[in-house]
């Protein structure tokens, strides 16, 4: 019997929690798309009300979390999985993302397996 390696991201939005699993094959297959996302953000990105000229890894993950929030609202499973994959690959050890649902992407927080703020 073979088992698929997968990573799980706990997504908190307001009072709701959702678990998103991303298997290793999807992570491998998504790599070119995730690299393209990084290239798109290399020239700066709007993060909440501010334009960030050179987004850090954390800020890039906040952008992905904001896109994840949109995917949750539109029930776009493919986009949910892709944004979860981005966060899981860029923030090793991440367990939970608490997405700010008020439009302030810079207030989205990430936690590790010890529930410590990353």
**Extents of the domains making up the chain:** 6-112
pLDDT of 3 reads 45
Burial of 103 (0-12, 13-18, 19+ CB in 10 A): exposed
Instruction: Tell whether the model's pLDDT for residue 40 goes beyond 70.
Output: yes
Instruction: Tell whether the model's pLDDT for residue 10 goes beyond 90.
Output: yes
Q: Quick check: 12 and 85 in contact, CB under 8 A?
A: no
3-state secondary structure of 69: helix
3-state secondary structure of 27: helix
Q: What percent of the chain has pLDDT over 70?
A: 97
Q: Quick check: 68 and 83 in contact, CB under 8 A?
A: yes
Q: Quick check: 70 and 63 in contact, CB under 8 A?
A: no
The continuous run of DSSP H or E covering 99 comes out as: strand 94-99
pLDDT single digits (tens) 59-98: 999 999 999 999 999 999 999 999 999 999 999 999 999 9
Pairing of the two strands 109-112 and 16-23: unpaired
pLDDT of 2 reads 40
Instruction: Tell whether the model's pLDDT for residue 34 goes beyond 50.
Output: yes
Q: Quick check: 85 and 97 in contact, CB under 8 A?
A: no
Instruction: Tell whether the model's pLDDT for residue 1 goes beyond 80.
Output: no
pLDDT of 4 reads 60
Task: Report angle CA 88, 39, 117 to the nearest 5 degrees.
Answer: 30
């Amino acid at each position: 019997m073979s088992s698929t390696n997968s990573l799980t991201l706990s997504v908190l939005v307001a009072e709701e929690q959702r678990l998103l699993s991303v298997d290793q094959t999807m992570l491998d297959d998504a790599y070119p798309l995730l690299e393209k996302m990084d290239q798109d953000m290399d020239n700066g990105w709007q993060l909440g009300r501010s334009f960030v000229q050179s987004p850090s890894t954390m800020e890039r993950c906040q952008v992905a979390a904001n896109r994840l929030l949109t995917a949750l609202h539109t029930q776009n499973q493919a986009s949910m999985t892709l944004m979860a994959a981005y966060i899981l690959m860029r923030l090793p050890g991440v367990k939970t993302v608490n997405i700010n649902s008020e439009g302030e992407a810079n207030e989205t927080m990430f936690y590790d397996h010890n529930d410590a703020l990353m």
